[in-house]
Amino acid sequence: MAAPHDGAEGAACQAMIERALASSAAVRTLMRAMERAGCPVDRAFFSCERCAQECQGGYDRARGVILCQQHMQNSRSLIEATMVHELVHAYDDCRAHVDWTDLKHHACTEIRAANLSGDCSFSQEFARGNFNLRAQQQKCVRRRAELSVAMNPTSQGTAARGVP
């Protein structure tokens, strides 16, 4: 997925991780929940890398949370939201042992992450140019889950529309 962090971009990403770990209640809450679930995580669980895919980050069972430094735009709120989103996946994996080759499992954790991370807040959607008056949250969650599941190698690039 990625190459190790480098240069000013990587240093900025690392600094934003440190700030999020120190100041984000949501990040700290999820880290405590993982510890209570038997999967403690620490600073080493988070890394910054240049990613080949067009995404903000990812979760890898063996490597932890990977933040795509070239997509962070020196945005504190973006890195915190991405960390929370990926920590939801890590928590789901710890608690429910997600089978990442099962698209239903993947869709379920994506739906939870989109809802719990703030990915689909009004302000986030407005910034993306999406502002529907009805069912905005549901449309956003579905769109983001479909995009993520479509990147799963098991899906072979197909959308998750058929996944209940």
Please say if 125 is a catalytic residue.
Answer: no
Alpha-carbon torsion 101, 102, 104, 110, what sign?
negative
47: exposed, middle or buried (Cβ count in 10 Å: 0-12, 13-18, 19+): buried
Residue 108 makes CB contacts below 8 A (sequence gap 6+) with 92
Tell me the pairing of strands 57-60 and 64-68.
antiparallel
- Choosing from 49, 80, 86, 110, the catalytic residue is 86
Taking the CA atoms of 152, 153, 158 and 162 in sequence, report the sign of the dihedral they define. Answer: negative
**Residue 81 and residue 118 in contact, taking contact as beta carbons nearer than 8 Å:** yes
Active site residues: 86
